[in-house]
A and B are shown apart, each in its own frame.
Chain A
Amino acid sequence: MASTTETKQKKMLILKSADNDEFEIEESVGVQSETIKNLVEDGFTFVPLPNVYTKALIKIIDYLKKHANKTDSNDEEIKTFDKDFVNTTFDDLFELVSAANYLHISCLMNMLCQTIADRIKDKSPEAVRKIFHINCDYTPEEEAKIRKANAQAFEGQFDESLD
């Protein structure tokens, strides 16, 4: 880590989660989020995030800190970190992806969407419904009609697991 900035006062930001917890982070870490960057450019140092809950915010701050220190030499370390980061439940992934979307952190968005896609791939519609907490509002007749219209996509055996 470069020590040249230590003598200088680091610019800090305060992020406030939806459950009113406040987190102080370095500006250089925060501005990886387009949403925060725009606010910083407008002179804000206090950033309320009414859509991001504490649990997700803690993880996202971790992610931003890790990625702010990206160099050529710690590439492997970051890869391991990312792999660990997405190794969580679907509900956590959904909360994180919503937060990343709100904060406009595109690299995190891409990683989370790819993870979710990889994990729901080859699963049965019933399993995907449970994972996404979707209530099916089709009648059995309507459902049969849609299956028939795209028959080639629905043939074969699918994975019923929910993890």
Chain B
Amino acid sequence: SYCYLMPPKGIIRRTPRPYYYMMHPMGKICRTPGSYYYMMAHKGKICRTLPSGISSNLPENVIDEILLCLPFKDAVRTSILSKKWRYNWCKLPVLTLDEPVWKSKKGVTFRPSKITQIISHILILHTGPITKFILCVASWTSCPNIDDLIYFLSRNGIQHLVLTLPSMDNLYKLPSSLFTCLQLRHLTLENCLVFLPPDFRGFDRLISLKLCDVTISNEFLESLISGIRSICFKSVPCMAKLSLSHRGYSGVPGENSIAKFFESFSALQHLHLDEDSIELGDGHDDTPALECLEVDAFQM
């Protein structure tokens, strides 16, 4: 049978890959790149389970992968399978809480307060980072409180955030903790208010931004559009995709302001502008990497 050996002296480790060493029956020593999960799951022994037993013994990372491919409710239901499975769904780094999650099978939709309560329940049980979070409550008439959620995400490594909130007269005002999500790479906001804290220095890692029916405070908008001063989206050097649509961008001061704004996106490749709300000045060809410009219902 196989046994583990310490790495033989004299072998230069090029990279700290998790190799483990085993003695082949023929006496040869070979090294195999080991899977961390595999090692953990089998306590460092080589497992020779028969194929028939393999399904109840899937490596943890495989189970995680399968759960990630399931709709959220299906993933939660695996908690009932056995004690070992109980909290598997609580460590998934990607959470998609879209409309089906907030509807019962009978078609009853939850009240916003119930949604807040369910989100709290999920967050209390969650362990580990959440890199991607999608919340969609677009068809509600009022918005659940998500301040705690965003605060939680800001401390747990969020990189991809999608918030699709209800379209209503009093748009939801996003909490300032949004601006501490400094790992953000993709941000999509729909139907909300954004007030910029004065000390915000930008999302350094942001590469894609989608805003739809987002009202941004005047000061923020002016600084954003004129591309001056130090704040916000001006300092997104790797921004590759930008989409702006509908209200909230009217009243842009100055004819060329939008062009100036785009000067700061040297990596911009895809630009989507919607609904005659932005007056585009000359000079948007200052964005050398721009490959795709989509303009819907636009007045030039």
Contact = CB atoms under 8 A, between A and B. Distances in A.
> Interface size bucket, A side?
35 or more
A153 B71 CA distance: 11
Contact of A134 (B33, B35, B38, B85): B85
Interface string A73-108: 000000000000000001100110110011010000
B58 A97 contact: yes
A133 interface: yes
A143 B77 CA distance: 11
A145 to B, nearest CB: 10
Interface in B71-102: 71, 73-74, 76-83, 85-86, 101
A131 to B, nearest CB: 8
Contact of B104 (A51, A136, A143, A152): A152
Interface of A: 18, 34-35, 38-39, 42, 44, 48, 50-51, 53, 55-56, 90-91, 94-95, 97-98, 101-102, 104, 109-110, 113-114, 116-118, 120-122, 125, 128-129, 131-138, 143, 146-147, 149-150, 152-157
Contacts, number: 134
A117 B30 CA distance: 35
Chain A interface SS verdict (over half): helix
A133 B35 contact: no
Given A38-B33, A152-B118, A121 B81 contact: no
Interface in B201-246: none
Interface residues of B, number: 50
Interface string B98-142: 000100111000100000001001000000000000000000000
Contacts of A117: 66-70, 74
B46 A116 contact: no
A153 B83 CA distance: 18
Contacts of A129: 81-82
A-B pairs with the 8 shortest C-beta distances?
A: A156-B105, A117-B69, A94-B55, A153-B76, A113-B65, A133-B56, A38-B33, A153-B73
Nearest to A153: B76
Contacts of B51: 53, 55-56, 91, 95
B69 A118 contact: yes
Given A44-B30, A110-B65, A150 B81 contact: no
A52 to B, nearest CB: 10
A35 B20 CA distance: 12
A51 B47 contact: yes
A34 B32 CA distance: 11
A122 B74 contact: yes
Contacts of A56: 51
A134 B37 CA distance: 20
29 contacts: A35-B32, A35-B33, A38-B33, A39-B33, A50-B2, A50-B22, A50-B46, A51-B38, A91-B54, A94-B54, A98-B54, A98-B59, A101-B37, A101-B62, A104-B33, A113-B62, A117-B68, A117-B74, A125-B80, A125-B81, A128-B81, A133-B56, A134-B85, A135-B56, A137-B82, A137-B83, A152-B118, A153-B77, A154-B80
A106 to B, nearest CB: 10
